[in-house]
Amino acid sequence: MRTIRGVGASSGIAIGEIAVRGDAGRAVERRLIDDPTAEVARFRAARDAAVTQLGRLRDRVEDEFGDDKASLFDAHRMMLRDPGYTAGIEKLITSEGVNAEFAVDAVAERFAAMFAAMDDSYMRARAADVRDVSRRVIDVLEGGSGDMAGGGGSHGDDGRHIILAEDLAPSETVRLDRSAVLGFVTAGGSANSHTAILARTMGLPAVIGIGDAFDTADDGHVAVIDGTSGMVVIDPDEATLAEYRGRKAKYEDHLRLLRELKGRSTETRDGRKIRLYANIGRPSDVTAALANDAEGIGLFRSEFLYLESEDWPTEEFQFEAYRQVARRMGDRPVIIRTLDIGADKRVGYFDLEHEDNPALGYRAIRICLTRPEIFRVQLRALLRASAYGNIAIMLPMITSVQEVRDAKRIIEETKEELRGEHIGFNEHIRMGIMIETPASVIMADELAAEADFFSIGTNDLTQYTLACDRQNPNLGRFADPHSPAVLRMIRMAVEAAHRHGIWCGICGELGADPSLTDLFLEIGIDELSVPPAGILPLRGAIRSSTVIRDSPVIRNGAPDPS
């Protein structure tokens, strides 16, 4: 028995024989050609054929998995049409007189290396997409049919097997025969890759990133893969097999229960309704929110648009991101937190000075109010996007009424600018406040008079209430989010909100803590916003709870109590 640890990319357990898949990344021959102009034309024809193939693949994926997943192949087609990508290939053909296959492969590796060197894991994962689309063009140039899926042979008594491969491209993954494939393990890959996303959509357990543990000699051996923990066991003994068979049965029963909860209302046994929203950081995260039946977006961390940019994100760039999320969510609320840079989230082009204690320093609303030129760009984008969906604005790190009034003044001035330019927006857009400092709790009655809703950020509220740096690993035993002081702060904020007829939710990590669900219901929390994967389990916990209390009367766009 041999145990390998990788990265869990798609939950679930698979038990079966391994089918090793040959590496699709074969070497591309470099040849000198006599007619660069003809070779460029040959490349363009192959590229156009690849775009057509991706269009057919998109239609197939849309029929089976829906438009959300199919949009991946729209992105792949855009990659093939990218001017920089195309120009790089054509320049290499003409300047060095090389064959189109070699030029495509060389430029693809250059682009892939650029993505792979980025700090953000999501952007690093795009390297696989560049290689995938380029491999498709090369396949066309070499006379292939465009069917790049291939696959292992028939293993096991029922012909079902676990694929073991160096890597799998998204276009290969979506073509896997789910009647024959139990799951897959790859040497490379990323949990943020489109391959991993498709595996989750297809319900295929997957473990990625096993690296040098990849061994073609494992072909035909029995294996267990755990897509949740990232564990792979080759040639398991009987005790291990029995353990994983039991886990697999429990997991499948859990999935069955969760499927039953999709589309069901989030309400307690005694009829008290709670809104269950998702926390996201990027527009692409909406896919997971919708897949898990989120009733809205309770926290869109807009700072990721800044963290993932090498320069100031423009108004147009932000507008498109916010509009995309609003459109995909339809009528469901989308609460977008304004810029929360500073503390542990540093961006080089902000030129922020070094601070000995950045958690207590120049961050979030303090930057927005002292550098309003930054704030106005974001507000213009947010307001413009509000014409396309149910967007609300949320202000972070509030400590005083004056901060809220100053922010509201800038919002109103920005609205007036847009009116003067005849640009539409939601004139009645809601504005909420994050409760994440003791000052905001103490001032909650006065703040509630200025806001349409509260959302409690329990991570920072715990840090500031207990005076414990959340980044300091030595303070784990002291930074207890279950502290009575923290829970009392939460109760005070909820009560103040309800006294003034507004709703109060939680968007911090405590919202997904099942040990506190009953307490939050008893306190009177109106909304919980959690990571997408936590939505359905939390709905199950709420539906099994009974809370004897009257639902609060609330106003100003609160979660619908009916």
Nearest-angstrom CA–CA distance, 343 and 458: 16
Q: Is 371 annotated as a binding residue?
A: no
Query: What's the confidence (pLDDT) of residue 550?
Result: 46
Residue 349 and residue 344: Cα distance in Å, rounded?
Answer: 15
- Buried b / exposed e across 13-38, counting CB within 10 Å, b at 16+? bbbbbbbbbeebeeebeeeebeebee
Question: Given the structure tokens 């896997």, which residue do they identify?
Answer: 176
459 annotated to a ligand binding site: yes
SS3 63: helix
Q: Which pLDDT score is estimated for 401?
A: 97
What span, in angstroms and rounded, lies between the C-alpha atoms of 447 and 432? 10
pLDDT at 557: 43
Q: Are 330 and 389 in contact (CB under 8 A)?
A: yes
pLDDT at 479: 78
The DSSP-derived string for 406-418 is HHHHHHHHHHHHH
- pLDDT of 159 reads 56
What is the domain partition of the chain in residue ranges? 2-19+154-238, 36-141, 263-543
What stretches of 386-516 show up as alpha helix (H) in DSSP? 401-420, 438-442, 444-448, 458-466, 484-499
Q: Is 468 a catalytic residue?
A: no
What is the pLDDT at residue 148? 46
180-210: pLDDT as tens digits: 899 999 998 877 677 888 888 788 999 999 9
Spell out the per-residue pLDDT of the chain, length 562, in tens. 999 999 998 889 999 999 998 655 567 899 999 999 999 999 999 999 999 999 988 888 887 777 667 777 888 888 898 888 899 999 999 999 999 999 999 999 998 888 878 766 666 777 888 888 998 999 899 987 655 444 444 343 345 899 999 888 888 888 888 788 999 999 988 776 778 888 887 889 999 999 999 999 999 999 999 998 999 999 999 999 999 999 999 888 777 877 788 889 999 999 999 999 999 988 888 988 888 899 999 999 998 888 777 788 899 999 999 999 999 999 999 999 999 877 555 666 677 777 677 778 777 899 899 999 999 999 999 999 999 999 999 999 999 999 999 999 999 999 999 999 999 999 999 999 999 999 999 999 999 999 999 999 998 899 999 998 766 778 777 878 889 999 999 999 999 999 999 999 999 888 988 889 999 999 999 999 998 878 988 998 999 888 755 444 444 444 333 3
Write out pLDDT tens, residues 498-524. Answer: 999 999 999 988 898 888 999 999 999
551 dihedral zone (left: phi>0; alpha: psi -120 to 50; beta): beta
* pLDDT number for residue 188: 85
Q: For 442-457, what is each residue's pLDDT tens digit?
A: 999 999 999 999 999 9
Annotated binding residue 491: no
- For β-strands 527-530 and 503-506, DSSP reports them as parallel
Supply the pLDDT for residue 423.
97
Q: Given CATH 1.10.274.10, say whether it is the number of domain 36-141.
A: yes
Indicate the residue type of 44.
R
Q: 253 exposed, middle or buried (CB, 10 Å; 0-12, 13-18, 19+)?
A: exposed
State how far the Cα of 52 lies from the Cα of 147, in Å rounded to an integer.
13
Q: Taking CA 211 as the corner, what is the angle to CA 207 and CA 212, rounded to the nearest 5 degrees? A: 135
Per-residue pLDDT, 277 = 96
Q: For the chain, how long is the longest CA-to-CA vector?
A: 83
CATH topology of domain 2-19+154-238: Glucose Oxidase; domain 1 (3.50.30)
Q: In what order do the strands lie in the sheet with 161-165?
A: 2-5, 231-234, 222-226, 13-20, 161-165, 181-186, 206-208, 7-10
Residue 518 assigned as binding residue:
no
Map residue 161 onto helix, strand or coil: strand
Please tell me the predicted confidence (pLDDT) of residue 154.
Answer: 39
Tell me: is residue 357 an annotated ligand-binding position.
Answer: no
Indicate the average pLDDT of the chain.
Answer: 86
Superfamily of domain 263-543: Phosphoenolpyruvate-binding domains (3.20.20.60)
Residue 158: what pLDDT?
45
Q: Would you say 460 is a known binding-site residue? A: yes
The whole-angstrom distance between residue 502's C-alpha and the CA centroid of its chain comes to 29
Active-site residue, from 194, 368, 500, 504: 194
Indicate if 500 belongs to the active site.
no
Q: How far apart are CA 330 and CA 295, in angstroms?
A: 11
